[in-house]
Amino acid sequence: MTASSCYTLIQTTQRASGLAKAKRPLKWQRDPEGMRLRILEAAKQEFSAHGLAGARVDRIAAKAGANKRMLYYHVGNKDELYLAVLEGAYDKIRSEERGLDLEHLDPPEAIRRLIEFTWNYFLRNPEFLSLLQTENLARAKHLKKSTKVKSMHSPFVEMIRTVVRRGVDSGDFQVAVDPVQLYISIAALSFFYLSNSATLSVIFGRDLLDKKAKDERLAHMVGLVLAALTGQSMALFEIAKPAQSRASVVQTA
C-alpha cells in the first residue's frame, strides 16, 4: 500500500520535461513541495482521527507515501507538525469566511447565510472540528505559541458587528448583541451538535447524522437565532423544513 502510493506519486508528479527519455526507471523522484503537502494532509487526517497523543508518526509517513525521516526534514518533530496542521486548518476556514460577503445582504438573510455557511463548513470539514477539540483538550498550549494565528485576528467579527448594527438601525433586530457572543453562539449550535454527535446519538437513541436529522437541525438553528434577534416566531424561519416534518418532530420519542 505504501509502496504503491509512492509509485503513484512518481507518475502524477513527473514534470513536463519528462519525455520518454526515462532510460533507467528512477527509484524515486524529487518533489519537495508535493511531499510537504502530502505530509501535512496525512498529518491532518492522523491528528484529527487520533488526537495529538494518539497520532503515530509512522502512520503519517505511511499515509503520505513517504519515509518517516521526511517529516522531520520538511516540517519538524511531532509537535511542530501538529501546529503546522492546526495553522493550516485555521487558515483555510478564515479564507473561506472572507468570501462570505455578508455586507450586501439584508441583516436577517446575512445571519441565515452565516449559520448555513458555518454548518456546512463543519459538515464538509470534520477534521477541523476534531483538531479544535484536540487543541482545546491541550488548553491551546500549541496555539498560544503560534505567531501566525494571532495575527489572523478575525476581521470576521467586524463583519458580524456591521451586520448587527445594520439590523438594529433598520429595525430588523431588536438588540445590539455583542458580535463575539453571537458568533460563538452560532458556532456552538453547529459545533456541539456535530462534534458530539457520536455520544448524543447513543444517549438519545437516534442517528443525528442522517439526512432528515441534519435538515431539521439546520432549520432549528436558523429559527432559534433569527427569532431571538428579530423577535418573530421561530416557525417563520424554518422554511427548510416542510410542515409535515415539523409536526412529526413534536411527536418524536
Helix H, strand E, coil C: the string for 90-117 is HHHHHHHHHCCCHHHCCHHHHHHHHHHH
Closest approach of DNA to the CB of residue 84, in Å: 13
* Residue 162 neighbours by CB distance under 10 Å: 15
Q: How many residues bind DNA (CB under 7 A)?
A: 25
In b/e form, how buried is each residue of 198-207, taking b as 16+ CB within 10 angstroms?
Answer: eebeeeeeee
Segment contacting DNA by CB under 7 A, of 21-29, 141-149, 192-200, 225-233: 21-29
Among 139, 147, 171, 243, binds its own copies (CB under 8 A): 139
Q: Which residue lies nearer to its own copies by CB, 98 or 150?
A: 150
13 and 34 Cβ atoms separated by less than 8 Å: yes
Q: Which of 111, 88, 116 is nearest to 190 (CA)?
A: 116
Instruction: Match 527509484 to its residue by C-alpha cell.
Output: 27
List binders of its own copies among 145-164 (CB under 8 A).
Answer: 149-150, 152-154, 157
Query: 77-80: which pairs have CB atoms within 8 A and are 24 or more residues apart?
Result: 78/52, 79/142
Rounded Cα gap, residues 113 and 115, in angstroms? 5
Q: Which residue lies nearer to DNA by CB, 75 or 102?
A: 75
Q: Which does residue 77 touch among its own copies, DNA, none (CB within 5 to 8 A, set by kind)?
A: DNA
Helix (H, G, I), strand (E, B) or coil at 173: coil
Site for its own copies contains 95 (CB under 8 A):
no
Segment contacting DNA by CB under 7 A, of 66-74, 96-104, 163-171, 215-223: 66-74
Sites of contact with its own copies (CB under 8 A): 50-54, 130, 132-140, 143-144, 149-150, 152-154, 157, 174-178, 180-181, 184-185, 187-189, 191-193, 195-206, 216-217, 220-221, 223-225, 227-229, 231-235, 249-250, 252
Sites of contact with DNA (CB under 7 A): 6, 24, 26-32, 35, 55-58, 66-70, 72-74, 77-79
